[in-house]
């Protein structure tokens, strides 16, 4: 099961830390489009790629 994502959420891909912080642009089913600081806009299948939601306390990690 995957987490629910919505536009505006901040996310990271722990397997690709060099992408930096991402902001969700859209989420439809298991497809999430996010704009990452160092990787640009990517559409990811969250059934395969793990994204974690970043809260204010962990933004700098």
- Encode pLDDT of 15-55 as tens digits: 999 999 999 999 999 999 999 999 999 999 999 999 999 98
Whole-angstrom distance, CA of residue 12 vs CA of residue 52: 5
CA nearest neighbour of 8 among 23, 18, 22: 23
Whole-angstrom distance, CA of residue 61 vs CA of residue 33: 22
Please tell me the predicted confidence (pLDDT) of residue 61.
Answer: 46
Higher per-residue confidence, 48 vs 61: 48
Please tell me the predicted confidence (pLDDT) of residue 60.
Answer: 54
Q: What pTM, to 2 d.p., does this model score?
A: 0.85
Q: In this structure, are residues 35 and 23 in contact, taking their beta carbons and an 8 Å threshold?
A: yes
Whole-angstrom distance, CA of residue 46 vs CA of residue 56: 22
């Amino acid at each position: 099961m995957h987490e629910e994502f919505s536009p505006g959420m901040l996310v990271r891909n722990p397997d690709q830390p060099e992408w930096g912080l991402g902001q969700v642009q859209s989420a439809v089913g298991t497809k999430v489009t996010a704009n990452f600081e160092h990787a640009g806009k990517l559409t990811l299948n969250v059934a395969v790629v793990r994204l974690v939601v970043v809260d204010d306390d962990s933004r700098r990690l």
